[in-house]
Structure 1
């Protein structure tokens, strides 16, 4: 039996990117089981997919889940992702992101799973020497979070040699936006990402958005990032699993649009959609934030047959529509009845 005929285990599948990927996998005809601690994810995010509640370090539960559901492939999202927090509480990131991943891989191997798509990050390159960033750019993490991702990539390379575990490490650029049908998105109450926080400042006015640094060596002084629509990113996972199922070898792949947008570009695009400016204040730079990074997507197209279909306009439109719909839903419901579409998970900073 091909690994593509079995079930996909999605850790962190109740998270933001994870929940979109679960939907994309099911739309592609794949059987899925979600494994999530629900520390940050929400049960509602998985919609009607099977859900197992547990920690990735619980080897017995992971192996039992794989055996019960006939798992043949793994997509691993479950990780802490806040750059600032990682610099203040590094042990939390070593234990969960690194040690937890090792326990997860050991448990999956015990169940006969040999295909892994890993949620990595472009932050493994730090501030790159040149942009756009290709896969052969030096690995130079500038935060504990980024180091945890780089370390797991190296661990996966070793597992290929020692256990025949094949993997694709998808180095995300900045996931953003919401599903086009308006069903799921990234809640601003739990997110530390620019787009939902800009929407919160725009629609609520309080708190104002904080822009960290306007004195970078960029055209407008603010950091530059590659913003990728979450549905495009979900599709990359589907194609990465197909690549592994077809016999593809262990590799790392940049997943971005190839277009860099500054913080002010995002705020201006948001103002264009909403018809009013985003209120913001400028604060000093944060430790661990690269200056400018955006992807060279060539290898993703060559290896996976993937390319981004959407740009900043679609990201902002879908996010704005989704956040407005959530506010309208909240206005019609009591606090007890309100939905909790809160799914932050790993994405680049």
Structure 2
């Protein structure tokens, strides 16, 4: 970096799964951090004791103005929002409010405060049902659910805003985020989570009776859906590097995929969980879910070209092992409450 002082970073949704890992990555790399989270899906225990936590909403312009001033914020990492695809279909207005309207309010407050850098948590759902895989950033963006549209709309708002204000941004399109902090400082803590690896380790620990396999007739090697699983700590590291890139080159913005470029099928993931735990998870075969592509794998060429990003945990067994360690710790946390 070509800067003598790292700006303080406001992490929205910093008490949630990915946001809390971004807080850890920033702290581990010497950044000052503050968090805003309304704690509807986040957890106070996920925020380190020495990180200021403002319990509130990103739609609250007065609160944001106070945080920007009190913490001398120079960058925003935006994770706050709703993320469950089926729920977005059932309640689209909730998703357009939480993910789009509130993001618009946050961007407005960011611009008014003169904060120059913005990192946005986007998603591979912006691609919808891609015709080819791996997926590049130039692939057609045709979301098939309100969740994907709500994120794509925010990308568009950032692009339009950056064109006329002193703001540069990076939108990172995640593929399937999994795992937990290697030191078990944070992990996926949401009850009733739908992520496959989270569900599978819960089943391995007896918290679920079985794991549903949705569809076995896809055009994939074993008929089950193939996904690109990225370790949450590698993803968090990419956010820190993206922020450094924005600071180094304030006249450019970036939109990049975040994935490893390699996919695993549902059955391969479950076999790996069996292998790591030395147990046998019961599989429950069900029909396809509407809107699930057969294969969704990132082409990570651009992020590897633009950032000095070298994933440390690109290993399915390691991802599962870290998720398992966190799940055991989470059980203890909840027993102690």
Could you say which TM-score interval applies, normalised by the shorter chain? Answer: over 0.9
Query: Is 2:9 the counterpart of 1:18?
Result: no
Q: Report Cα offsets for 1:124-159 as digits up to 9, x if no partner.
A: 111222121111111111111011111111111101
Residues 142 and 289 of structure 1 are in contact (CA less than 8 Å); yes or no, is this contact kept in structure 2? no
Q: Report Cα offsets for 1:291-311 as digits up to 9, x if no partner.
A: 211111111111122132222
Residues 189 and 330 of structure 2 are in contact (CA less than 8 Å); yes or no, is this contact kept in structure 1? no
| C-alpha separation in 2, matches of 1:284 and 1:20 | 34
Residues 93 and 148 of structure 1 are in contact (CA less than 8 Å); yes or no, is this contact kept in structure 2? yes
Residues 129 and 291 of structure 2 are in contact (CA less than 8 Å); yes or no, is this contact kept in structure 1? no
1:183-262 pair list within 5 angstroms = 183-187=185-189, 189-204=191-206, 206-248=208-250, 249-262=252-265
Q: 1:270 maps to what in 2? A: 273
| C-alpha separation in 1, matches of 2:277 and 2:228 | 22
Residues 175 and 297 of structure 2 are in contact (CA less than 8 Å); yes or no, is this contact kept in structure 1? yes
| C-alpha separation in 2, matches of 1:131 and 1:214 | 19
Displacement, 1:100? Answer: 0.3
Q: Which moved more, 1:77-86 or 1:285-294?
A: 285-294
Q: 2:130 maps to what in 1? A: 128
Q: 1:72 maps to what in 2? A: 74
Displacement, 1:2? Answer: 5.3
Query: Is 2:293 the counterpart of 1:290?
Result: yes
Residues 187 and 196 of structure 1 are in contact (CA less than 8 Å); yes or no, is this contact kept in structure 2? no
Residues 1:219 and 1:188: Cα distance change in structure 2 (over 3 Å): farther
Which of 290, 299, 303 does residue 300 from structure 1 map onto?
A: 303
How many residues in Structure 1 have an aligned counterpart in Structure 2?
A: 333
Unpaired runs of 5+ residues, structure 2, are none
Q: Report Cα offsets for 1:34-67 as digits up to 9, x if no partner.
A: 0100000011101121100111111111121111
| C-alpha separation in 2, matches of 1:294 and 1:18 | 23
| C-alpha separation in 1, matches of 2:242 and 2:4 | 13
Q: Report Cα offsets for 1:274-307 as digits up to 9, x if no partner.
A: 1112112122222232221111111111112213
| C-alpha separation in 2, matches of 1:319 and 1:143 | 28
Q: Give the match's secondary structure for 1:163.
A: coil
Residues 1:205 and 1:326: Cα distance change in structure 2 (over 3 Å): closer
Residues 3 and 72 of structure 1 are in contact (CA less than 8 Å); yes or no, is this contact kept in structure 2? no
Residues 1:215 and 1:44: Cα distance change in structure 2 (over 3 Å): same
| C-alpha separation in 2, matches of 1:128 and 1:3 | 43
Superposition CA RMSD, Å: 1.7
| C-alpha separation in 1, matches of 2:162 and 2:183 | 39
Displacement, 1:205? Answer: 5.8
Displacement, 1:322? Answer: 2.2
Q: 1:343 maps to what in 2? A: none
The alignment's TM-score, normalised by the length of structure 1, stands at: 0.91
| C-alpha separation in 2, matches of 1:3 and 1:239 | 16
Unpaired runs of 5+ residues, structure 1, are 339-349
Q: Report Cα offsets for 1:143-184 as digits up to 9, x if no partner.
A: 110111111111111011122321100001111111111222
Displacement, 1:210? Answer: 1.5
